[in-house]
Amino acid sequence: MKLPLYLLGMFSLGCSMALAEKPWSSDNDWKLVFSDDFSGPSLNTGNWSRIAYVDWPSPPDWRRYQSEDKPLVQFGKKDGATVMALWGRYGNYTTQVNQKEAKPTYACGGIDSMNTFSFQYGYVEVRAKFDCVKGTWPAIWMLPKHGGGWPDGGEIDIMEHLNFEDGVHQTIHYAGNNGKATSQTKNTPFNRNDWHTYGVEWTKDNITFYLDGKATKSMNNNSSNWPFGKEGHEFYIIIDQQIGGKWVESAGPIDQETLKKKGAAMYIDYVKVYSSEKYKHRPSKAAKPKAKAAAR
């Protein structure tokens, strides 16, 4: 059926208005400054790096089983979308704690933009879906580009999921007025088997989290040590599958058998960052990874 021209015009205008609608709630006039839809056959190294091994004698839980092995980061299709799959498995791999020689271990894949893209203030949105297996801990989060230590430099956890929980954790970590670690957090119910968009809106004195385009919680500056409003304090993005650790294993042991036979994937459809040209940064040359203060 052909539509009259005036209806086509109205339809086109409606589509344009829908596409132009801001996915964040504030009146900030941010522009799309970074995006990746993972449509290629391999990792776009202009946008990301694999999470690299570092010389830390006691790595934090999230990094313990991070692996540089190629099979743990794959690209293909899932539910009709082109995706990146970050795998968690049990098998013969190298990891942060056994870097030189593969051996039977838990291992998981992850990427970050530490050496390729960082920004201050804006809106981040990631569309993702993940397998649920006991002991897995997929995360989408951000750390400061120029350190500052933890918790002083701050941490923004856009999404963390544990085991088979029917909710996601969205959290900020920083130093309270007494200088000790403090946090603000929100656990939001969701259908763990579906695709969802996870977002965060970051301004000088406020951080608002989103799930499927709806604000879940706004967190305000309540500390003289609030790090998120310091001029030039840019953050970079981390997306990783994680396995084990005190937090996730408090609900019981890791399901080694499932991770050995099937594995557990975290699927990423796209990443988008909206910000001001003033506050986005892409280095001219990739720097070598530097050891950062352990987070979490």
Which tens digits make up the pLDDT trace of 216-249? 999 999 999 999 999 999 999 999 999 999 999 9
Task: Write down the H helix ranges in 179-228.
Answer: none
Contact 186, 171 (CB under 8 A): yes
The DSSP annotation for 119-185 comes to ESSEEEEEEEEE---TTB--EEEEEETT---TTTT-EEEEEE--TT-SEEEEEEEEE-TTSSEEEEE
Extract the tokens encoding 107.
């291992």
**Band (296; pLDDT cuts 50, 70, 90):** low
Query: According to the model, what pLDDT value does residue 284 have?
Result: 62
**Band (16; pLDDT cuts 50, 70, 90):** very low
Locate the domains of the chain by residue range: 25-281
Mean pLDDT for 55-65 is: 94
Between 291 and 160, residue with greater pLDDT: 160
Largest Cα span, the chain:
70
DSSP helix, strand, coil percent of the chain (3-state; round to 5):
10, 45, 45
C-alpha pair distances (Å), 162 with each of 83, 184, 216, 284: 22, 18, 18, 37
Mean pLDDT for 124-148 is: 96
**Band (293; pLDDT cuts 50, 70, 90):** very low
Distance CA 54, CA 244 (A): 19
Task: Say how many CA atoms lie within 13 Å of 20 toward its Cβ.
Answer: 7
C-alpha pair distances (Å), 191 with each of 132, 161, 242, 259: 11, 12, 20, 22
Does 148 have pLDDT greater than 60?
yes
**Band (147; pLDDT cuts 50, 70, 90):** confident
Distance CA 147, CA 81 (A): 35
Query: According to the model, what pLDDT value does residue 282 have?
Result: 85
Query: According to the model, what pLDDT value does residue 18 have?
Result: 37
Query: According to the model, what pLDDT value does residue 292 have?
Result: 46
- The CATH-assigned architecture of domain 25-281 is Sandwich (2.60)
Does 279 have pLDDT greater than 90?
no
C-alpha pair distances (Å), 128 with each of 45, 78, 107: 20, 11, 20
pLDDT in tens, 172-188: 999 999 999 999 999 99
Neighbour tally for 3: CB within 10 Å: 10
Does 7 have pLDDT greater than 80?
no
